[in-house]
Amino acid sequence: MTESRSIQFFDVLITGAGFAGLCMAIKLKQQGKYSFAVLERGDQMGGTWRDNTYPGAACDVPSLLYSYSFETWPHWQRDYSPHDNIMAYMEHCVDRYGLGPHILTGQNVVKAQWLEQEGLWEAETEKGDIFRARFAIGSTGPLNKAKLPEIPGRENFAGPSWHTSHWQHDISLKGKRVAVIGTGASAIQVVPAIANEMKELILFQRTPPWVMPRKDKPVSEARRNRYRRFPWMQKLAREALYWKFESRAIAFVTFPGLMKTAKRMALRNLNKAIRDPNLRKQLIPDYDMGCKRVLRSDDYYPALTRKNVVLETESILKMDSNHIKTSSGKSYEVDLIVYATGFEAAEQMAPFEFLGRDGVDLRNLWAKGGEAYLGTTVAGFPNFFIVVGPNTGLGHNSIIHIIESQVQYIMSALDAMEKEGITRVEVKKEMQDKFNQEVQERLKGTIWNVGGCMSWYVNQEGKNTTLWPGYTWQFRRMLRRFHPADYNCS
């Protein structure tokens, strides 16, 4: 007897309910022409902000910029918002735009495939539910899979251990000897937030980050009131911040030499906070500023001067049930390990079996690095769009700007298809190749490629598949309108 599967049909299927998926959903909802569902693997929306609840979790981009341009919100508590405030904003957006019924939680997509005959995408979730739609939108983001280090004996560690994106809030750190491995954007927020709780914190640093002051401060009641009464004032402040951040791209992409000024500021920041010359020396990066993400913190360096905090710069050789051993033979007895070791960013652009025309799996196609046209569409994958796809990440400004540019492009595509009676679009391979050649060419001179560091921006093949090598306004201009001529249409 063959089992009959019930299939749910929509015009558009979105995968992932983070900032990107929600933005797409809002624009579809506002337009009102298409049925859509957001398939979300977690038990609530929020994407990376739902997952990363570690102590001190906050955004190092100011909230005015790290929020939708079309949805001002006068409830930001600080210039740089902590995790809870950001989640509250996202919940507000879900309510305001009535997205709740569209977000299907607990639906972890395990496979999606293009059905050529039907002209539809079909997605299957872990539960066994089947969804079909004319359009598939991938908005799972690059930071959804924790990366754990390959250290001999790691599996033998007997105490609790977790990654920053899976914080175990029910286990207290009080009085414990805790190892934190990694000194990236997550670690520099975690360390100051937990350092005072424990007996000893050993911070394992492989590469020191460049750290600029964040100058975070509370948003005064008066300012919040002003924004409540006059939303245009908030918009104006947002615009000013956008251009302030955008001007930084000059140093990242055009004149890397300009980073010298910022480097001087970062060194001043370090020297001011750290008196001990040995510690200072250990914290000075030996690569150009900007090559890795420039971090912003007011409390990271001061936390390292605490008596119960040890900075260990030797590499980790191995672990056993309760020790971490370094390359020179030092041994640290620890009760608990926090891995602040980042994400499988480049690999996670295609997080599940994703079969396009002729059964080509996007995971295989992108095994040596993702490529898309305008970071949004992929040859061989009809009626498929990605938000925050290959080479759309930023080192200098808010990713929300990129998200909004891509969502506007996708809406323009749907509009053009409807007007011109097109049911299927697939980007021309030569357009995609030409675009990617240009992107890689432009990346050649940037700080990320010439700055003398290893970062998650560049994959194992040495190819930068994550960052946009230009100004965000250029990206927006390129995606202003969908041009059917770039696509094979039928």
Provide the binding-site residues for ligand NAP, judged by CB under 6 A.
Answer: 59-61, 143, 149, 151, 164, 181-187, 204, 206-207, 293, 316, 340-343, 454, 456
For residue 460, the minimal CB distance to ligand NAP (Å) is 13
For residue 485, the minimal CB distance to ligand NAP (Å) is 35
For residue 185, the minimal CB distance to ligand NAP (Å) is 3
The CA-based angle 342-82-267, given to 5 degrees, is 65
Nearer to ligand NAP, 18 or 342 (CB): 342
Nearer to ligand NAP, 15 or 164 (CB): 164
Nearer to ligand NAP, 249 or 365 (CB): 249
Nearer to ligand NAP, 134 or 147 (CB): 147
Reduced to 3 DSSP states, what percent helix, strand and coil does the chain have, rounded to the nearest 5? 35, 20, 45
Residue written as token pair 């993400």: 293
Residues 6 or more apart whose CB falls under 8 angstroms from that of 21 comprise 14, 15, 38, 40, 45, 47, 137, 139, 387
Nearer to ligand NAP, 99 or 180 (CB): 180
Nearer to ligand NAP, 242 or 384 (CB): 242
- Answer left, alpha or beta for residue 23, where phi above 0 means left and psi between -120 and 50 means alpha: alpha
Give CA–CA dist 219/223, Å, rounded. 6
For residue 275, the minimal CB distance to ligand NAP (Å) is 24
For residue 48, the minimal CB distance to ligand NAP (Å) is 8
For residue 217, the minimal CB distance to ligand NAP (Å) is 16
Give CA–CA dist 287/8, Å, rounded. 52
For 132, list phi and psi in degrees, rounded to 5: -130, 145
For residue 399, the minimal CB distance to ligand NAP (Å) is 8
Residues 6 or more apart whose CB falls under 8 angstroms from that of 114 comprise 120, 121, 122, 355, 356, 357, 381, 382, 383, 384
For residue 351, the minimal CB distance to ligand NAP (Å) is 16
Nearer to ligand NAP, 370 or 382 (CB): 370
Residues 241-264 as b or e (16 or more Cβ within 10 Å = b): bbeebbebbebbbeebeebeebbe
Kindly write down the DSSP assignment for every residue of 233-248, as one continuous string: HHHHHHHHHHHHHHTT
Point out the residue whose Cβ comes nearest to ligand NAP: 184
Residues 330-350 as b or e (16 or more Cβ within 10 Å = b): eebebbbbbbbbbbbbbbbbb
Residue written as token pair 């009535």: 98
Nearer to ligand NAP, 380 or 469 (CB): 469
Nearer to ligand NAP, 184 or 356 (CB): 184
The pair of structure tokens assigned to 347 is 């690999």
For residue 97, the minimal CB distance to ligand NAP (Å) is 24
For residue 158, the minimal CB distance to ligand NAP (Å) is 20
Nearer to ligand NAP, 38 or 59 (CB): 59
Nearer to ligand NAP, 128 or 462 (CB): 462
* CA end-to-end span of the chain: 38
To 10 degrees, the CA torsion angle through 88, 214, 219, 87? 0
Pinpoint the alpha helices (H) of 111-165. none
For residue 39, the minimal CB distance to ligand NAP (Å) is 23
Report the DSSP beta bridge partners of residue 13: 37, 136
The CA-based angle 184-187-188, given to 5 degrees, is 85
Q: Are strands 487-489 and 425-427 parallel, antiparallel or unpaired?
A: antiparallel
Single-letter residue type at 68? Y
